[in-house]
Structure 1
Amino acid sequence: MNVIIVSDTHMPRMAKQLPEVLRKELLQADLIIHLGDWQTKQVYEELKSYAPVTGVYGNVDEAFFIENFNEKLVLELETHLIGMTHGHGKGKTTEKRAIAQFENDEVEMILFGHSHIPLHKEYEGKILFNPGSPTDKRKQSHYSFGKLIVNRNHPLQIEHVFFLKK
């Protein structure tokens, strides 16, 4: 299963359309995960034209997302449990807030956004992954998103795709 992971698209404020490199990867997607701060329903509509979409809402999303998505989600993909949250809130770092949200869940991976800072590391036997943003890199050198390969009874394989807009 080929899963594309995005967060913090902030469209149309930060981009009028999804970047070409992301659109090419979406053509091969079996599932798309969005980790919040979609901003408008048009992002959801565009993504679901490529593949099924799931995700969570962020702190700047319109009512549609709050009504149709959760703040936290545990998704089972091919026997793997994956936790998802945007990561916003008060106190602690974004990473620590994301970890705290899943302290009582048996997840293998925690996906989160909010900071726009790409992250891929292991923490207490779990994979922590922030895809960054494909449209609003802020102080990062590159735009980014994630690619996750899920196979039953095999370890999860996840990586960033880094790029600069043309």
Structure 2
Amino acid sequence: MKIGIISDTHIKKNTSNLAALLNTHFKEVDLIIHAGDYISADAIEILKDYKNFVGVWGNVDESEIKTLINENEIITIDGYKIGIFHGHGTGSSTFDRAYDRFKEDKVDIIIFGHSHQPLAKTKNGVLILNPGSLTRKRRERWFSYIILELHEGSFDLQFRFFS
């Protein structure tokens, strides 16, 4: 299973930009996971129409989006239990909030966003991933996303960066 992982797209009006990015970077994936902060519900519809899609809402997503998707999700793919949460909240770091959200769920992988900073790190045997942002890099040099290919007993992880 090949998964495209994105977050923090912050699409307000021009949803055609998201569609173009999907067509450019995600043709080979089986599933897209979005870790929140869409802003426009149209972005969710574009993702659903493009590929299989799982997503959670983020701190800037309004009530319309919150009626379409959950605040966090746990999915199982090819034997990997994956927790997805945007990472918003107070206290501690975004990384720790994401980890703490699934601490009792015995997940293998946690996917979060919020910081717009790409990251791959482990904590207590859990792989924790932040894809950065596909469309809003903030202070980062490049836009970024992750391609995660799951196999039984192993996986391949690639960060992809572009300007």
- Superposed CA offset, 1:13-55 (max 9, x none): 6986128554323222211111000111111121222211111
The one-letter amino acid paired with 2:157 is: I
Identity %: 38
**Mapping of 1:10-25 within 5 angstroms?**
10-12=10-12, 17-18=17-18, 20=20, 22-25=22-25
Q: TM-score, structure 2 length as denominator?
A: 0.92
**Mapping of 1:80-119 within 5 angstroms?**
80-119=80-119
Say whether residues 1:143 and 2:143 are aligned partners.
yes
**Mapping of 1:15-164 within 5 angstroms?**
17-18=17-18, 20=20, 22-151=22-151, 153-164=152-163
Whole-Å Cα distance in 1 between the matches of residues 157 and 21 of structure 2?
17
CA contact (8 A) 1:56 1:84 kept: yes
Structure 1: 5+ residue stretches without partners: none
Cα 1:158/1:101, change in 2 over 3 Å: same
Whole-Å Cα distance in 2 between the matches of residues 47 and 140 of structure 1?
24
Greater CA drift, 96-105 or 63-72: 63-72
Cα 1:133/1:160, change in 2 over 3 Å: same
Whole-Å Cα distance in 1 between the matches of residues 29 and 119 of structure 2?
21
Cα 1:144/1:22, change in 2 over 3 Å: farther
Query: How many residue pairs get matched?
Result: 163
CA contact (8 A) 2:13 2:40 kept: no
Runs of 4+ displaced beyond 3 Å: 13-16, 19-22
